[in-house]
Structure 1
Amino acid sequence: MIATDDRLFRRSARAGGIHPLQRLIGLYRRGAPETGWDVSTHGLLHDLPPETRHDGPAARPVDPPPPGAGWRIDADNLTRRVSQLPALPQAVLQALALLRSDTASDTDCAARIALDPAITARILRLANSAFYGVSGRVATIRDAVLLLGRRSIGAMLAAAAVADSLARSPLAGHPEVAATMGHFWRHALASALAAQALARGRPPDQDVAFTAALLHDIGRLVLCGYHADGLAAVRAAAAVDDADTLPFERALLGLDHAEVGAMVARHWRFPPEVVAAIAAHHGPPAGDGPVTLADLVHLADAIAHVLDLEDDPAESVPALAPSSWRRIALDDDEAQRVFGDVEAGVRALSKSLLG
């Protein structure tokens, strides 16, 4: 077997399986498999856990907190606090709709985006980053639309609008949120770029896939800002067995970050399919059928983790739902392209988005 970094796959190993991304990241990091490793990507399906939720049958049962522990979240109160986050500007929502319209002109789209100067500035920084290959040639939003196309601009607009709204929100002043913001954005961008790349040639639109993956962990940021003590208890409980935090969120807080993220996306009036994909990104639909948006976000999240962009000693690649893996059918060549695009994109876009 490829001697890839076992640290990233320790949870899969403890569960008695081989994570399907383990061989693929080994190919990417080392260029070629070692002699004797000839199992195809899809041949690893038998090593995946049974068709279950992401937390899987190997997860330790989590007992509910004792009465009075104080970590359970009042969902109504959290919904009210989410509703107080700055809304996305109306011009942004209208521009996103125009970019997906077959009847609106490029000029109409550019004019609508340009109504918000702060977001326009972020988009121009993104458009002129090295990632898109037109650095120095994009002076206006119309230039950006003409040179890069509506899908790229739609993705940039979503990223710029979310960054701007977070910067204006009460969360921005919370010290724990501020400390984790850089990590949040690198993971969000990596997941978004992976989902966008995976959407090429598959049913969901690339800009919608980018947006859903960009927002998939926004619930973690909200929990960090509004329920820091409860989130700390979740992390401490999960750390005992070096386990995934999701089942502990449900047991200790009463809801998980995917549900909270869906609340935020709904408040920001993103399309229902984006809201649904965020809510289901740890538990995509089982069975057969076409690739879903939740499938793309689910795998994109795992790809962002497997790239370990921050060399985090605690990093671990989450389990994959077998049905999502079958539906997407990621092969060796595509995986290498996606990994390369994501690493290059995060390097090029992080500073442009947040600067």
Structure 2
Amino acid sequence: MTTIPSIIEELDQLRPVSDVAGKVLSLLDDSGCGMSDLADIIRHEPALTANLLKLANSAYFGLPGKIGDAKQAIVYLGMTQVVDLILLVSCADTFKGSHSGYGLDRGALWESAICAAILANALSEKKGFKSTGLTFTGALLRDIGKVVIDQHVKSAMPQIMERVETQHISFMAAERQVLGVDHAQVGAMVAKRWHFPPLLQCIIRYYHTPLQADGCFTEASIVHLADAICRKMKISPGVDDSSYEEDERIAHSLGLNETVINGVIGEFSEKMEHVRTLFLAG
């Protein structure tokens, strides 16, 4: 039988994102750090540097000339986007497996993470929210809790689905009834255990319910919308996707109307093949 203590024990068994990702996240939380601090972290990680330069020189970004080092990549792409790419590289191994409890084949959770992160970034730009608000990272890591409790969900699937269907509640609410916790709560536990910035912990905890978020409403709302767009576009759908309902109040509160959101969807659809080739191959 699943118990909350047994789930908490598994948090320590989940391999954390790399040390360099932790250092980079700490930079986002320190207004005194800048480009040279980020470049110093990257230059001590040869594999990371190689992957970063591969991405920076791809057709996806269309930068002029050849980017030869980390500092040059930061100059052309900007510090925030380079941080995003570092986190993409660092988190891949955690998400790329299969997660059958949620009906996700190998790589499906990773595809959802990548696409939601890019969509969250696009929504942030439409909102004019260009600070290091961690919306990209929040969307990327929003379902880290699913990695932890996947097998528990698989074992409890009959009970969970019975509650979804008979009580007309979300899959996440049914998770709480059956397991004692839901994947967003577990994700926030992971974020706290890995010493992520408090804002990022908040986003992961409340992205499904941003109206309840205290201190990260805007960021959690953007990630919520990115997650909803992934479902609308049927990007790596899982068994829980059909149980969530969109709350129109969230987009309205951000000043993002249907026209703007459809524009984001259209722009993303046009570069979806580039995204698959660059970030999801292998």
Both proteins in one fold, TM over 0.5: yes
2:21 is equivalent to residue 92 of structure 1: yes
Q: 2:178 aligns with which of 248, 252, 256?
A: 252
Residues 1-355 of structure 1: matches in 2 within 5 Å?
A: 70=1, 73-98=2-27, 103-134=32-63, 137-165=66-94, 172=97, 180-200=105-125, 201-203=127-129, 205=131, 208-225=134-151, 228-231=154-157, 233-235=159-161, 238=164, 244-285=170-211, 292-309=218-235, 316=242, 318-344=244-270, 346-354=272-280, 355=282
Q: CA 1:295/1:96 → structure 2, altered by over 3 Å: closer, same or farther?
A: same
User: How far 1:177 sits from its partner (Å)?
Assistant: 8.9
CA contact (8 A) 1:155 1:211 kept: yes
Higher percent of residues as helix: 2
Matches of 2:5 and 2:124 in 1, distance apart? 35
Matches of 2:215 and 2:28 in 1, distance apart? 28
TM (norm. structure 1) is 0.66
Q: CA 1:149/1:265 → structure 2, altered by over 3 Å: closer, same or farther?
A: same
Unpaired stretches in structure 2, ≥5 consecutive residues: none
Matches of 2:181 and 2:209 in 1, distance apart? 14
Aligned to 1:129, the other structure's residue is in SS state coil
Aligned to 1:292, the other structure's residue is in SS state helix
User: How far 1:178 sits from its partner (Å)?
Assistant: 11
Q: CA 1:120/1:166 → structure 2, altered by over 3 Å: closer, same or farther?
A: farther
Higher deviation after alignment, 221-230 or 344-353? 344-353
Matches of 1:174 and 1:283 in 2, distance apart? 23
Matches of 2:172 and 2:194 in 1, distance apart? 24
Higher deviation after alignment, 86-95 or 99-108? 99-108
Matches of 2:13 and 2:196 in 1, distance apart? 16
Paired residue for 1:49? Answer: none
CA contact (8 A) 1:219 1:264 kept: yes
CA contact (8 A) 2:171 2:243 kept: no
Matches of 1:118 and 1:128 in 2, distance apart? 16
Residues 97-121 of structure 1 deviation map (CA, whole Å, 9 limit, x = unaligned)? 3366554443331220232334334
The one-letter code of the counterpart of 2:4 is A
The one-letter code of the counterpart of 2:76 is L
CA contact (8 A) 2:124 2:130 kept: yes
Q: CA 1:341/1:107 → structure 2, altered by over 3 Å: closer, same or farther?
A: farther
- The number of aligned residues is 280
Q: Which has the larger radius of gyration?
A: 1
The one-letter code of the counterpart of 2:227 is D
Q: CA 1:276/1:128 → structure 2, altered by over 3 Å: closer, same or farther?
A: same
User: How far 1:302 sits from its partner (Å)?
Assistant: 0.5
Matches of 1:313 and 1:96 in 2, distance apart? 31
Matches of 2:267 and 2:181 in 1, distance apart? 34
CA contact (8 A) 2:133 2:219 kept: no
Matches of 1:275 and 1:288 in 2, distance apart? 12
The one-letter code of the counterpart of 1:278 is I
CA contact (8 A) 1:220 1:261 kept: yes
User: How far 1:259 sits from its partner (Å)?
Assistant: 0.6
